[in-house]
Amino acid sequence: MIEPEELAGRAGYSRPHTVHCGPEGLYVSALGGAGGSDGPGGIAILDHRSFEVLGRWEVDRGPQYLAYDFWWHINHDVLVSSEWGTPSMVEDGVVGELLLGRKYGHRLHFWDLRRRRHLQEVDLGDQYQMPLELRPAHDPTRTYGFVGVVTSVEDLSASVWTWFRENGRWQVRKVIDIPAEPASEKDLPDVLKPFGAVPPLVTDIDLSVDDQRLYVSCWGTGEIKQYDVSDPFKPVELASLQIGGIVRTKSHPAADGPLRGGPQMVEVSRDGRRVYVTNSLYSSWDDQFYPEGVGAWLAKIDTDSFSFDERFFPHGDDFRGLRPHQVRLQGGDASSDSYCYP
């Protein structure tokens, strides 16, 4: 157990989020600052064995202020981080004024992993709000990766972007667009009524270990998509499955009736044959977009047929009143392994 006072006192952070095992220790991202400070967020380092908080990772953070996910091209000494918002921007749900004012994160940051110094900021454009989950290529010789963007304030679409290095500079290119779906105002939660549409809300993506398949969760519309990304700049949609959704409430073969929530966090097995999706994002956001309740469920997809496994559907009382968010697989999985050699 790491108490908040230890994280705050030794690293200056609060609201820890993402954990990765890396060089020099355990890396833990955090959304907020300490001592009543809303930010900046950043990364703390923990000792590999004792889990003692060693301190703040950044030596020079440059212009970075907002934080969320991070990953790396470890053989190239490059760390990449993304942006969501400070605690006051996220803890009570999405703030419409901040979203329409384009105040949530919209940048990626590239760092010198060894020297812990900020190298470059890349702005996707402030209409592209909340680039969250980062999935770098597993092939250690490559320097590209994918980031999912929750929404565009211009049309409520979601998107996936590829980052890459060219001529010594980091760049991004939008490679997938997922449009919002028109809907009747009476079917929408209050937060969406003014828009008359359901946004896809891409809240997670996951890249198979062989770098061939990208899975994209659309938490708002209730859809999980599979793409061929053998060419990372020209993804091809191969399949999709419906489950849950703000309007659709599509059921599961093993469920008794309609489902709330939608595919949220995604996990892929090392062999690429199993995909797991959970349905809860963050309680205050759950309650905003699914005011009738998200329920609780975890589904497994067999990728050979891209269909739900009817034998595996923990839900409802299986979770004892808790909301499932993240899946990790014993022995490793596609989103917690740094890289695998070809």
Q: What is the pLDDT of residues 61-113, one digit of tens each?
A: 999 999 999 999 999 999 999 999 999 999 999 999 999 999 999 999 999 99
Predicted TM-score (pTM) of this structure: 0.97
Residue 267 lies in a domain: yes
Q: What is the pLDDT of residue 340?
A: 59
Residue 90 belongs to what H/E stretch?
helix 87-90
pLDDT confidence band for 36 (50 / 70 / 90): confident
Q: What is the pLDDT of residues 323-342, one digit of tens each?
A: 999 999 998 899 987 655 55
Q: What is the pLDDT of residue 337?
A: 74
pLDDT at 50 over 70: yes
pLDDT confidence band for 156 (50 / 70 / 90): very high
The answer to whether the beta carbons of residues 147 and 108 sit under 8 Å apart is: yes
- For residue 259 the two structure tokens come to 């489902």
Please compute the mean of the pLDDT values over residues 166-182 and round it to a whole number: 97
**What whole-number distance in Å separates Cα of residue 313 and Cα of residue 311?**
7
Residue 340 lies in a domain: no
Q: What is the pLDDT of residues 228-243, one digit of tens each?
A: 999 999 999 999 999 9
The answer to whether the beta carbons of residues 308 and 250 sit under 8 Å apart is: no
The range of the structural domain enclosing residue 198 comes to 127-319
Q: In which residue are the tokens 């108490």 written?
A: 3
Residue 44 lies in a domain: no
What percent of the chain is modeled with pLDDT above 70?
99
**What whole-number distance in Å separates Cα of residue 185 and Cα of residue 190?**
9
The answer to whether the beta carbons of residues 297 and 324 sit under 8 Å apart is: yes
Residue 203 lies in a domain: yes
Helix then strand then coil, in percent of the chain rounded to 5, is 10, 40, 50
pLDDT at 208 over 60: yes
Residue 40: cis peptide before it, omega within 30 degrees of 0: yes
Q: What is the pLDDT of residue 336?
A: 84
Residue 59 lies in a domain: no
Q: What is the pLDDT of residue 181?
A: 97
Please compute the mean of the pLDDT values over residues 179-184 and round it to a whole number: 97
Q: Which residue has the higher pLDDT, 191 or 337?
A: 191
Q: How many CB atoms lie within 10 A of CB 33?
A: 22
Number of domains within the chain? 1
Cβ neighbours for 175, distance < 8 A, ≥ 6 positions apart:
146, 160, 161, 162, 232, 233, 234, 235
- For residue 197 the two structure tokens come to 């549409």
Residue 192 lies in a domain: yes
CA 305, 310, 315, 319 dihedral sign is negative
Residue 337 lies in a domain: no
Q: What is the pLDDT of residue 341?
A: 53
**What whole-number distance in Å separates Cα of residue 69 and Cα of residue 65?**
13
The answer to whether the beta carbons of residues 222 and 216 sit under 8 Å apart is: no
Residue 82 lies in a domain: no
pLDDT, mean over the chain: 96
252-262: burial string, b at 16+ Cβ within 10 Å, e else? beebeeebbbb
The answer to whether the beta carbons of residues 275 and 267 sit under 8 Å apart is: yes
Q: What is the pLDDT of residue 339?
A: 59
